[in-house]
Structure 1
Amino acid sequence: MDTEHRPVRGLPGRPLALVLGLAGALALAVTAPAAAVAPPDDSSALTWGQTRVYDDGLAVTVARPSAFTPSDTSAGHRVGHQAVAWKITLKNGTTEAFKMSLVSVYAKYGTAGERAERVFDSAKGIGSDFEGSISRGRSATATYVFDIPKAAVGSLDIEAVPDIFDYEGTHWTGPLNSRTGPS
């Protein structure tokens, strides 16, 4: 039997299922109804402690950042850098439970807006994202830590996106040791 020149057969319908699955995901991303979100009144970023309230009532607050000392078992932290922690609070003022599985948080630093690496530290409970959902009228808070070169802690930018399909992201900017605005 000549098996060397025989075509290899995959599972029947597998390529079709993959194409249909991708097409469905793209259609969902394009046609999913967006939450009633108006762009911010001002194109400038918020400062630490300020709250962005979306038209549907969801509110996001980023507290003043603080220096964080990672444990010896942390990942993402480099010697000579400063780990910086932000507490982010979501308050659900919408008419139904808000699912937090698609919350995304990004950090940048410096005038060039270089991407900061996320720090994970299970010994100190750092690295868990928002999980589950928030009931109407309730809040949830998570701490995000990013690794920043010490020379760049004067120019920080964190972006929080409540749901990557339905909400625009909002930026909060300022230095690590800012004393402007509430915390």
Structure 2
Amino acid sequence: MTAPTPPDGQKSGDQAPQDYDPWRPPPPGQAEPYRAPYPMAPMGVVQPRNGMGVTALVLGIVGVVLGLLVIVFWISWLPALLAVIFGVVGLSQVRKGLATNRGMALAGVILGVVGLLTALGGGLFTVMAVKRAVDDRRAKVEQRAKDAEEAKASESAAEKARHLSFGESYTFENGLKVTVAKPQPYTPDDYVLGHAKGNRAVQVTVSVVNTGKERVEVETGLPNVSDADGASTELVIDGSGRQKVITGYVLPGRKAVGKYAFSLPPDAADRIEVEFSPDAMRWQDAYWSGPTD
């Protein structure tokens, strides 16, 4: 190959003039000057593929952080699982020489496993907490139902205890022990109120004993009498002086006796019921019943 001919008036080896432009086309009739080729990158050099390891590390951190949060721990398993998958792929690329960040990929796998374990632990904790709450709620409901049944049974037993036969006694919570004797026939005087001709009159005797240590006042000294069909009777008032109303206080260990007469219509049932309470505003009535004959 022949060297290019220098420009007019310039010998080979001389410096080019200042206005010389190597990129300017040569004058007509002259050959193209030689230009050295640009340097080329060496063939066969591959850029490392470190994306999988970086992604695994980021997802592993996200999975662990979400797993530590009480509210969103239930979604931490997804980034943690992806961290394990991307980390394994990244380690595989490192073994093949396609990546260089083995530490990132390995850290992503480890953090992913930790995130999965955290998610599993949070799930178990939540299940146990929910189960404990459900069990406690069920126990409270069962206990409430049991208490209601016991209260109902106790109320039923108390109601049953307040229904007695004539001659039996019932002790109220204020310590007054009340006994109603079997009614006896009663013949009113000629001057009487509450008794019509043809009716049948009976006398009811109520005994009150103070079993406590303090005196107790009898607020309600009149019993209420009805027949077996629920028909009320009338209180008989006459001038015989045989009737006595319990009033005032009953001293400890003392006894007060009240006697009352009631008029029953001719068609009244053979059984009657006497209702009495020493204080109707505080204590429920007790009931005595039985035949009149």
Per the normalisation by structure 2, the TM-score is: 0.44
CA contact (8 A) 1:116 1:147 kept: yes
Mapping of 1:47-86 within 5 angstroms?
A: 47-86=165-204
1:163 aligns with 2:262: no
CA offset at residue 48 of structure 1?
0.7
Distance in 2, Cα, partners of 1:106 & 1:146? 9
1:124 aligns with 2:248: no
Distance in 2, Cα, partners of 1:168 & 1:72? 37
CA contact (8 A) 1:153 1:176 kept: no
Larger Rg computed on CA atoms: 2
CA contact (8 A) 1:105 1:161 kept: yes
Distance in 2, Cα, partners of 1:155 & 1:84? 12
Say which SS state the counterpart of residue 119 (structure 1) adopts: strand
Letter in 2 for 1:152: A
Say which SS state the counterpart of residue 99 (structure 1) adopts: strand
* Higher RCO (C-alpha under 8 Å, 6+ residues apart): 1
Mapping of 1:86-97 within 5 angstroms?
A: 86-97=204-215
CA offset at residue 41 of structure 1?
5.7
CA contact (8 A) 2:274 2:288 kept: yes
**Larger fraction in helix:** 2
CA contact (8 A) 2:226 2:232 kept: yes
State the number of aligned residues.
Answer: 138
Residues 1:157 and 1:41: Cα distance change in structure 2 (over 3 Å): closer
Mapping of 1:128-139 within 5 angstroms?
A: 128-139=244-255
CA contact (8 A) 2:221 2:247 kept: no
CA contact (8 A) 1:83 1:147 kept: yes
CA contact (8 A) 1:103 1:164 kept: no
Q: Residue 4 of structure 1 aligns with which residue? A: none
Stretches of structure 2 lacking an aligned partner (at least 5 in a row): 1-154
Stretches of structure 1 lacking an aligned partner (at least 5 in a row): 1-37, 178-183
Per the normalisation by structure 1, the TM-score is: 0.69
Distance in 2, Cα, partners of 1:103 & 1:168? 14
Distance in 2, Cα, partners of 1:118 & 1:170? 19
CA offset at residue 169 of structure 1?
0.4
CA contact (8 A) 2:222 2:246 kept: no
Residues 1:70 and 1:86: Cα distance change in structure 2 (over 3 Å): same
1:100 aligns with 2:218: yes
Q: Residue 181 of structure 1 aligns with which residue? A: none
Distance in 2, Cα, partners of 1:42 & 1:132? 29
RMSD: 2.0
CA offset at residue 44 of structure 1?
6.7
